[in-house]
């Protein structure tokens, strides 16, 4: 009982003391000491509770701040104790002409990793932002920067694709030329693709270190749609060089047309979809300038062009074989200078005698009519001479059998 009284009395005393406290202390929260009141010995000031980092760990395969990352390095980001929710890779670089350009790197994202689907570009500063959510439910975003090596023009290989667009004849192969030799052809070949609609069998063949062609087994079917993909950006070409400028082109194939020239009978036959539409008397190359036999392909059409003997090593003023003429309706079929064209000065020889310097001449009217029908990419099949068409003297792909072409692929 005494104990209880002491406790009660003490409680009352406490209330009385609080009731007599000065006004400036009456509203102080319970437990606070007046300003200047000494703290008990050994007590510490309270501190806020530290928040631990999210447990998710984001791991890129490139170091932040790197300045010499190879352009063929394939970016990859993995994650531990969580999953990736987003990755963005963007950069600023310059074109081969020096203009600033914005670039991005595409990729495929799963919960466990992000894998780049496009390659890097030279002399480009990149920023990676990767976000993940941990097993603890909290989100983390990592940001890092890096840059790629600066390649000189001698270390970069640029492609030119022909045809680029439009409608061509059934004998036109896909042709890609490079401004520098490609040492690792297999590396480049893996990144070249041709899609035809309807589907037609075909194959790539390297004609040299700077040129590769794709042709179907037979002439294209009329009306075919062709898509060419050269995904060569930053693909290793061997010898410290890399491909640049990935490109995609599309073109169409027109009517099935073929021109047949018989040098022995001195006749030209034009066929459309297998039907003869025109037969024309011609005069071709005379002895010493025999027109070549073989399957040629129309590569150029010129309504008018200058032809001069000096281009084949004969003076324009040579009394026997010199010439300098403006020629109409010229259709190129070899790189060495064979054309189908109007040759009115040779009118008396058409159908009777071969008397040209290698071209296939005909009347103005016949040349104009042929010029209006024929397409770049049409085949011109020449027979009747014992002089064969040299490989790569123009588009000569069709002078090789399909079995041999495939063996070269």
Q: What is the pTM of this model?
A: 0.81
How many domains does one find in the chain?
A: 3
**Is 17 a residue whose pLDDT tops 50?**
no
Q: Does residue 18 sit within a domain? A: no
Which domain-ending residue is among 253, 275, 293?
A: 253
- The distance in angstroms from the start CA to the end CA of the chain is 111
Q: Does residue 43 sit within a domain? A: no
**CATH code for the domain in which residue 366 is found:** 2.40.440.10
Among 3-7, 244-248, 267-271, 310-314, the range scoring the smallest mean pLDDT is 3-7
Q: Quick one: 243 and 290 in the same domain?
A: no
> How large a percentage of the chain has pLDDT more than 90?
81
Tell which residue, 378, 390, 401, 381, has the closest CA to residue 205. 401
Q: Quick one: 102 and 65 in the same domain?
A: yes
Q: Which residues contact 343 (CB under 8 A, 6 or more apart)?
A: 283, 327, 356, 359, 361, 362, 367
Q: Quick one: 377 and 262 in the same domain?
A: yes
Q: pLDDT (tens digit, 9 = 90+) per residue, 285-298?
A: 999 999 999 999 99
Q: How many CB atoms lie within 10 A of CB 305?
A: 16
Cα–Cα distance for residue pair 310/324, rounded to 1 Å? 8
Cα–Cα distance for residue pair 51/182, rounded to 1 Å? 56
Going by pLDDT thresholds of 50, 70 and 90, the confidence category of residue 50 is low
Q: Quick one: 222 and 166 in the same domain?
A: yes
Q: Quick one: 290 and 273 in the same domain?
A: yes
Q: Does residue 304 sit within a domain? A: yes
Q: Quick one: 263 and 389 in the same domain?
A: yes
**CATH code for the domain in which residue 65 is found:** 2.60.40.3780
Q: Quick one: 101 and 228 in the same domain?
A: no
Which domain-ending residue is among 124, 148, 172?
A: 148
Q: What domain range is 135 assigned to?
A: 57-148
Q: Quick one: 263 and 372 in the same domain?
A: yes
Mean pLDDT of 157-169: 97
Q: Does residue 32 sit within a domain? A: no
- Residue 279 gets the label, from left (phi > 0), alpha (psi -120 to 50) or beta, of beta
**CATH code for the domain in which residue 211 is found:** 2.60.40.3710
Going by pLDDT thresholds of 50, 70 and 90, the confidence category of residue 81 is very high
Q: Does residue 208 sit within a domain? A: yes
> How large a percentage of the chain has pLDDT more than 70?
87
H/E element, 347: none
Q: Does residue 348 sit within a domain? A: yes
Q: Quick one: 127 and 168 in the same domain?
A: no
Q: Does residue 356 sit within a domain? A: yes
Q: Quick one: 237 and 271 in the same domain?
A: no
Q: Does residue 339 sit within a domain? A: yes
**Is 393 a residue whose pLDDT tops 50?**
yes
The per-residue pLDDT for 15 is: 34
Q: Quick one: 391 and 292 in the same domain?
A: yes
Which domain-ending residue is among 119, 148, 177?
A: 148
Which residues carry out catalysis? 341, 359
Q: Quick one: 160 and 290 in the same domain?
A: no
């Amino acid at each position: 009982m005494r104990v209880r009284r002491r406790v009660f009395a003490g409680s009352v005393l406490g209330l009385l003391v609080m009731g007599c406290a000065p006004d400036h202390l009456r509203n102080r929260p319970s437990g606070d000491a007046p300003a200047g009141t000494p703290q008990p010995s050994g007590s510490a000031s309270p501190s806020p509770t530290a928040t631990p980092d999210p447990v998710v760990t984001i791991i890129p395969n490139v170091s932040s701040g790197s300045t010499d990352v190879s352009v063929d390095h394939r970016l990859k980001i993995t994650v531990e104790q969580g999953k990736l929710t987003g990755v963005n890779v963007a950069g600023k670089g310059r074109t081969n002409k020096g203009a600033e350009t914005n670039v991005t790197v595409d990729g495929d994202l799963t919960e466990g990793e992000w894998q780049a689907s496009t390659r890097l570009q030279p002399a480009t500063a990149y920023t990676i932002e990767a976000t993940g959510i941990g097993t603890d439910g909290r989100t983390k975003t990592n940001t890092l920067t890096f840059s790629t090596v600066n390649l000189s023009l001698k270390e970069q290989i640029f492609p030119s694709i022909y045809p680029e667009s439009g409608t061509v004849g059934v004998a036109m192969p896909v042709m890609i030329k490079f401004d520098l030799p490609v040492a690792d052809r297999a590396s480049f070949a893996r990144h070249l693709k041709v899609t035809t609609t309807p589907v037609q069998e075909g194959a790539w063949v390297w004609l040299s270190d700077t040129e590769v062609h794709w042709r179907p087994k037979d002439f294209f079917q009329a009306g075919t749609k062709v898509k060419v993909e050269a995904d060569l950006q930053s693909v290793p070409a061997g010898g410290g060089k890399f491909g640049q400028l990935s490109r995609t082109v599309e073109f169409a194939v027109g009517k099935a047309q073929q021109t047949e020239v018989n040098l022995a009978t001195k006749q030209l036959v034009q066929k459309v979809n297998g039907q003869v539409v025109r037969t024309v008397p011609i005069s071709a190359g005379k002895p010493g300038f025999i027109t070549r036999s073989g399957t040629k392909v129309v590569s150029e059409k010129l309504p008018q062009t200058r032809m001069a003997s000096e281009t084949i090593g004969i003076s324009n003023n040579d009394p026997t074989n010199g010439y300098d003429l403006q020629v109409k309706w010229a259709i190129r079929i070899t790189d060495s200078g064979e054309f189908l064209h109007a040759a009115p000065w040779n009118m008396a020889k058409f159908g009777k005698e071969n008397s040209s310097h290698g071209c296939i001449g005909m009347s103005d009217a016949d040349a104009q009519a042929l010029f209006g029908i024929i397409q770049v990419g049409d085949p011109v099949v020449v027979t009747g001479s014992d002089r064969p068409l040299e490989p790569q003297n123009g588009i000569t792909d069709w002078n090789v059998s399909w079995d041999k072409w495939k063996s070269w692929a």
